[in-house]
Structure 1
């Protein structure tokens, strides 16, 4: 009996010295009360813990004592921490996890904007997409014109977006303005953009509702982000049916420099291919580019880009008011663009972007015996900061300065010989805040302030955008913004008191991205105010120019891209419907402008045939009839052009890993597309106003090129690029 008592006392003694076991139980939920299963629940610094069950509940024992930290973690949520006093008594804990905001993979603002980058998650076009789009012929603007929201205006070549004129789209390189981004041309002769797509690593094409950082654009902003330091040292040689170029890039550890010279001459080509235009001197020009990139202090990057462009052309165009006799229009253009930008991380949550761009553009225009000289100088300086104010809040803010001087000199036979000019300085500030309420919902609010020295007035333009992510693959976006743009040079030259033209954008967007497929549908409404209005465009009486014009545009855009369904095939489909009306310029009433086609459709396909080492491409563009004013009928804007059709084909053949042969042809069926008509100013003896067509320069454009890349090892594998 004594032995039994000893055993009992011994066991009790051991138990009294043993650590007490504490039971910890509870439930893991999100801030909406939904259970989170399989969350990791444990005591920090120990092996004691458990996973939550399907209903979010958990329970485990721990022998730890005193103050200890309970940790609860789950992917996509912030780690939950709570200090507990462990003394052997049961503890109940309800762990409410807060969603972890992921600004990279979370919801993004998509209303109005197409990301065209090879590094962004939302990819629509890559730089190589642009040069391999059959109808683009290597022109950035030509490729962008296959996206929804754009309209085919074949006699121009510029970007007409959602019922807006070509001047309403502004181009920016690394956030800095590019004035005169298109080459000089004669009336009703299409032009091209000045810049190569391979200069840029990405493109943001915003059809409306764009950031408060960008101003002086009524309809659209095309933001081109240039390449960083080059990847390797290489030389490039291009031989084309319309000219050629030489380029060389030198790469060091922390810097690179690239230079290119290009010569373009359409005279030999147009001597061989029948032209509908009567060229006295076909377009020809010389371009020189210099690109310098330098890393600074580990996180900073300095970029300097220079473009010098000299071009000439001379064309004879029939004059309907002079019995068909031809007027000779000759244009000489000297262009210089310098862009210097710098970006860096300056603190834990702060980054800076700064830069200055300069544009000099001189055009000498000869019209028969008359001479006109246009001279435009522009400077844009910007300083912007990005501040990660909190986990859920990002702020983009800055200030910028635009300076412009425009001069127009006339030397008119039997007319005025005079010079007119004006200057305008615009000072702007902007602030924009992104609030990530969750990984499913983000709100962007912005404000832009602009002051004009010419008018001594200040305007405040609000911007608002928001997106809600329904699933991992699809989301809705809304956008609203007020935008303004100074009166065009020709109008401000006559009346320097003209106010900026204004537009308000309202946008609703849905986007779905999954498995290399993109679907996008967007509806919008634009309201125009203070548009420039005058009685006669050739009238130089400032009293006849005012801001009495107004208008609106509404429509829907649809986009589908698929690079998954068919092996080695990538294609996209774009459709746009727009209903636009204006009472502006010399319009007698509210009507649809002549550059608007209600329906625009594009189909782009690219297929790589591996055995042939060749990529084949096709682009079909359609545009419905465009209105025009026929003085032989009653009413205004009372007639329609024929519909526009164009089927273009191309092929890129990889001869060797470093040599590509490229071939393309536009309008292979030779359709005679008509863009409008010019009418005589007076009726003939039968009371009929005679007319002449505004059409294409040729039935089709055929382009052949050989591209050669040379590196230190003698070749560059371009198979993956194709």
Structure 2
């Protein structure tokens, strides 16, 4: 019996030696021929494994036998699985890794653009809360853009003036569709205001150059606005101030899949006109009535159908001292009406994303220019324009991996205008047809490119254009990226200049942009250099109220450097940003007799914004400052068919310090059913007497300055929301 037990023990020892011998598995892990540390190596379905060292080497032992799978994992690289057979010999397994393409980690192409969107990972810049709390912006998106690099402060007319371009060279889109007449109708010397409520939009992309091939007809830049999807809950909002009264209602269904809403507003500055010392003599103070309505439906597949419509009517009349001997007063009276509608739909179909949209605009501007002597009308010239505009666009996109995609589509923009100036009448009609294609190429998390092209045809010009565009971005260090962008951009001549039958073609601009950016938590630094070359610009003759295009022989350039620094981290509870822009630009266009620095372009522009919310006081403090060096001005007249400069000079430097307070009386009251914000805002608090330019008499011997309507503007208002507590959003965003 003892002999049998000894034999069993010996056999057991021999068998365990065979089946439980420790086999060593080792190797080296590399990426682009360099060792990679911290790669997790495991034998699938076991607890055996190791982690690679600084040189990429790893080793571990196992008692497992047979067919197994060796797994290599790390969040920055694609997982690798290698089958192995474990028997009695040690195993060496080397692996070459591939980078894991990740939308969060991938470098973003940002040359020329600043983005604020709830679905992007870029530092949020100018969200709706940012806009509302920027002192001096008066809650207007386009006014807040004046505090970003590349945008010129031009107060005498509406528009976004970007890098030496006119206000008409920047176009604005809502959910992909063009917004014609984004600004209210205006008269010379008084800029129109934004007609759209900032709260309508959840995000925006502002491009000061090199923008996507999905958009066109803008020589300088685009502002792309994305409307909100659904409200968080049903709410009723009212706003009250000495100059306006408005209210809105938004209803969210129980399933939170659909909503509808409407708003109504009225503006009248009679009271403020009497309290403040206005530079402008209003014969009829500005009055405005606006209304809008919307519905939004979330589809089963996660898509959205959105509809928005609005109506605006505005009136005003301005008196000014006449510069001519046969009259003592000039009067300009305006009646304007505007209707806008926008319908958009987006939906995923398998691997494809479809975006379609359409917008319609009706705009009527009726202006009377009257001379008066002893308050008796002497002569009146009427200028009236009625326009109908339809825009339609469809975009189909497919992603190939997490950071690569291709998209393409088509766009139609139809414009029809009937206009009259005095006895001159015309009808302008144009169908602009466009096709485009664009691809995002993610070569790695550190290198990406965007390549696209756009082709357009104008029925009025009877010409085609072709616009290639390319941009690349490369991460040079952990927090540093560089971007390069190039593109051709075309734009129709403005319809107000098309008063004769001379043959014309598209105006053209080439953009070259280089950017370096450092983006860390709470801080963003951007340095950008650009060069724009203009060709085929419109040359005109005539006066400022009625000019006619005569050829496409204009040209010009704009070059410069820009700095943007935003910091939410260095100073406790203070969010601030600083921008500086240097611009060197010259143009031979419109009625310029030679190449000149444009009258709307300042060489140096500096802006600073700071915000702080003090919870104990329930108050947000906001300040902003803008400085720009003096712009040039010209008095150009037609002398026997030849444009000559009769007077010229440089304006004094522009500066303005603005301040606002936002008080939340309901802060800390958990049972409060209303969210209230009380606002006090003072623009140009130091009363700086800024000048935008000069008007000249017919003989050029007399002139009068073009100034802001008021030097210092004071606003007091209350905004109340019933049913939706926005306190946390307000505090988190420094309201």
Shorter-chain TM-score bucket reads over 0.9
Residues 576-604 of structure 1, C-alpha deviations (whole Å, 9 max, x = no match): 11011001111111110111110111111
Matched, 1:494 2:497: no
| 1:296 to partner: Cα distance | 1.2
Structure 2 residue matching 1:674: 3-state secondary structure: coil
Q: What residue number does 1:686 align with? A: none
Residues 309-355 of structure 1, C-alpha deviations (whole Å, 9 max, x = no match): 011111123332346622211111110110111111111x2211111
Q: What residue number does 1:604 align with? A: 609
Q: What residue number does 1:295 align with? A: 298
- Of the three residues 712, 716, 731, the one matched with 1:700 is 712
Cα distance between partner residues in 2 of 1:211 and 1:599: 28
| 1:143 to partner: Cα distance | 0.6
Stretch of structure 1 that moved more, 36-45 or 135-144:
36-45
Matched, 1:436 2:453: no
Cα distance between partner residues in 2 of 1:75 and 1:344: 30
Cα distance between partner residues in 2 of 1:492 and 1:714: 49
Cα gap change, 1:574/1:67 in structure 2, threshold over 3 Å: closer, same or farther?
A: same
Stretch of structure 1 that moved more, 232-241 or 120-129:
120-129
Q: How high is the TM-score relative to the length of structure 1?
A: 0.93
Residues 267-314 of structure 1, C-alpha deviations (whole Å, 9 max, x = no match): 222123222211111111101011211111231111111111011111
Q: What residue number does 1:461 align with? A: 467
Cα distance between partner residues in 2 of 1:628 and 1:541: 18
Q: What residue number does 1:354 align with? A: 356
Stretch of structure 1 that moved more, 133-142 or 80-89:
80-89
Cα distance between partner residues in 1 of 2:400 and 2:467: 23
| 1:119 to partner: Cα distance | 4.7
Structure 2 residue matching 1:198: 3-state secondary structure: helix
Q: What residue number does 1:669 align with? A: 686
Contact 2:20 2:63 in 1 (8 A): yes
Cα gap change, 1:373/1:15 in structure 2, threshold over 3 Å: closer, same or farther?
A: same
| 1:656 to partner: Cα distance | 2.1
Matched, 1:649 2:659: yes
Deviant stretches of 4+, over 6 Å: 1-5, 538-542, 634-637, 712-717
Matched, 1:709 2:721: yes
| 1:499 to partner: Cα distance | 1.1
| 1:69 to partner: Cα distance | 2.2
Contact 2:19 2:63 in 1 (8 A): no
| 1:661 to partner: Cα distance | 1.0
Cα gap change, 1:436/1:397 in structure 2, threshold over 3 Å: closer, same or farther?
A: same
Matched, 1:660 2:677: yes
Cα gap change, 1:13/1:133 in structure 2, threshold over 3 Å: closer, same or farther?
A: closer
- Of the three residues 377, 385, 390, the one matched with 1:379 is 390
Cα gap change, 1:707/1:314 in structure 2, threshold over 3 Å: closer, same or farther?
A: same
Q: How high is the TM-score relative to the length of structure 2?
A: 0.92
Q: What residue number does 1:509 align with? A: 515
Residues 342-399 of structure 1, C-alpha deviations (whole Å, 9 max, x = no match): 111111x221111111111011111222222201111111111221123552112211
Contact 1:158 1:192 in 2 (8 A): no
| 1:419 to partner: Cα distance | 2.6
Structure 2 residue matching 1:663: 3-state secondary structure: strand
Cα distance between partner residues in 1 of 2:105 and 2:52: 26
Q: What residue number does 1:34 align with? A: 34
Structure 1 residue matching 2:35: 3-state secondary structure: coil
Q: What residue number does 2:167 align with? A: 166
Cα distance between partner residues in 1 of 2:79 and 2:217: 45
Contact 2:613 2:731 in 1 (8 A): no
Q: What residue number does 1:445 align with? A: 451
Matched, 1:233 2:234: yes
Cα distance between partner residues in 1 of 2:252 and 2:605: 44
Structure 1 residue matching 2:498: 3-state secondary structure: helix
| 1:137 to partner: Cα distance | 1.0
Cα distance between partner residues in 1 of 2:427 and 2:680: 46
Q: What residue number does 1:90 align with? A: 90
Structure 2 residue matching 1:320: 3-state secondary structure: coil
Structure 2 residue matching 1:151: 3-state secondary structure: coil
Matched, 1:267 2:279: no
Q: How does 1:133-144 map to 2 (within 5 A)?
A: 133-144=134-145
Stretch of structure 1 that moved more, 529-538 or 106-115:
529-538
Cα gap change, 1:363/1:461 in structure 2, threshold over 3 Å: closer, same or farther?
A: same
Q: How many residues align?
A: 708
Contact 1:709 1:716 in 2 (8 A): no
Cα distance between partner residues in 1 of 2:645 and 2:330: 30
Contact 1:630 1:639 in 2 (8 A): no
* Aligned CA-pair RMSD: 2.5
Contact 2:593 2:645 in 1 (8 A): no
Structure 1 residue matching 2:505: 3-state secondary structure: coil
Contact 1:80 1:96 in 2 (8 A): no
Stretch of structure 1 that moved more, 100-109 or 17-26:
17-26
Cα gap change, 1:62/1:637 in structure 2, threshold over 3 Å: closer, same or farther?
A: farther
Cα distance between partner residues in 2 of 1:465 and 1:372: 44
Cα gap change, 1:635/1:337 in structure 2, threshold over 3 Å: closer, same or farther?
A: closer
Contact 1:20 1:87 in 2 (8 A): no
Cα distance between partner residues in 2 of 1:380 and 1:125: 27
Stretch of structure 1 that moved more, 46-55 or 514-523:
46-55
Gaps spanning 5+ residues in structure 2: where?
A: 371-379, 638-643, 668-674
Cα gap change, 1:458/1:323 in structure 2, threshold over 3 Å: closer, same or farther?
A: same
Q: How does 1:557-636 map to 2 (within 5 A)?
A: 557-629=562-634
Q: How does 1:5-404 map to 2 (within 5 A)?
A: 6=7, 10=11, 14=15, 18=19, 22-30=23-31, 32-122=32-122, 123-252=124-253, 253-322=256-325, 325-347=328-350, 349-368=351-370, 369-391=380-402, 393-404=404-415
Gaps spanning 5+ residues in structure 1: where?
A: 684-688
Structure 2 residue matching 1:655: 3-state secondary structure: coil
Q: What residue number does 1:680 align with? A: 697
Q: What residue number does 2:529 align with? A: 523
Cα distance between partner residues in 2 of 1:504 and 1:164: 13
